[in-house]
Structure 1
């Protein structure tokens, strides 16, 4: 810490120097001199020197009364009891059908496990699927070795769990991916 104090003192003096003071000498790099001159220039925003890789490249120009997207109250979408009934029914139905599918494909390392409200489908060297309920969001979350993470919401119109981003149906997505991985079709609907 003591070795840093002289350096911090010199930097502090350079930053306090008036704009007319020559800040550059043979001891300073050009980049440091440029930065020190710009910092000591009055009425210059510190954001002027932000990296071009920064997360925001300029003002958002939102109307003053804009408050951004409204939060979704998932309790109004499905009651908690209805969510649990639908999600449990879906997960238990998938568990039964996946266990039957495991007898058909005869894949080394194929295993279906359900515990602590998490359904896990292991496909040996092909990867692992994990499915669980997210009660606060009223969603079923799926982690897939092919498509990655997905969050499925109950769609009253189609009476199925649907991923809003891609409009994928949970059962249809699993059917497609399992056939692709294991080479045999499966009916999970």
Structure 2
């Protein structure tokens, strides 16, 4: 049977790779057997040749070219090294300016609305906006990712990246602007328009 043949050949690759392939239930085909696989140890690289024999070889790494569900383009945008987009000092300058500006404007907004439990707090680089029974917003910096994260009682968690073109913090999946999201959600929750720009 083809699957037992494939399993015996995969045993030669080493238990870790065999477990991964077996767990993912990859289909076994003659074209798959013709591909070269590598099992790496601390010092040596071994290649399973199409003939089924293992030979020691100094070759560049090659992997199974079968599709992986982890790299499906429909699952969202590709990862980005955010450190390459913004230098850390520039990130802190932009993020701090945004959060401090939001703090000031949210405090002013609190004076104009009558919501039981309305409170704005800033400490340890975390901005917290409590709206009593309506929920709580938490906005904070995520320096390693060069992002501002927001937890919203309306839209849930979001991660905003600095966008040079719009000069604002934008959620990559929806292209929504942090300030605009807050303005729209607070107007719906509190029944009063707010300008955070």
Same fold (TM over 0.5): yes
Q: CA separation in 1, counterparts of 2:122 and 2:175? A: 26
What is the CA distance between 1:123 and its match in structure 2?
0.1
What is the CA distance between 1:56 and its match in structure 2?
6.0
Structure 1 gap segments, 5+ residues each: 1-41, 47-54
Corresponding pairs, count:
139
Larger radius of gyration: 1
For 2:65, the equivalent position in structure 1 comes to 64
User: 3-state DSSP class of the match of 1:43?
Assistant: helix
What is the CA distance between 1:75 and its match in structure 2?
1.5
Closer, same or farther: CA 125–71 of 1 in aligned 2, 3 Å: closer
Of residues 126, 148, 159, the one that matches 2:167 is: 159
User: 3-state DSSP class of the match of 1:107?
Assistant: coil
Moved more, 92-101 or 62-71: 62-71
User: 3-state DSSP class of the match of 2:148?
Assistant: strand
Closer, same or farther: CA 63–94 of 1 in aligned 2, 3 Å: same
What is the CA distance between 1:71 and its match in structure 2?
5.0
Q: Report 1:79-118 matches (<5 A).
A: 79-118=87-126
What is the CA distance between 1:73 and its match in structure 2?
2.1
For 1:142, the equivalent position in structure 2 comes to 150
What is the CA distance between 1:66 and its match in structure 2?
8.7
Q: Report 1:159-178 matches (<5 A).
A: 159-178=167-186
Deviations 1:109-158 (A, max 9, x none): 00000000000000000000000000000000000000000000000000
Aligned CA-pair RMSD: 3.0
Deviations 1:40-67 (A, max 9, x none): xx93989xxxxxxxx96766x9973999
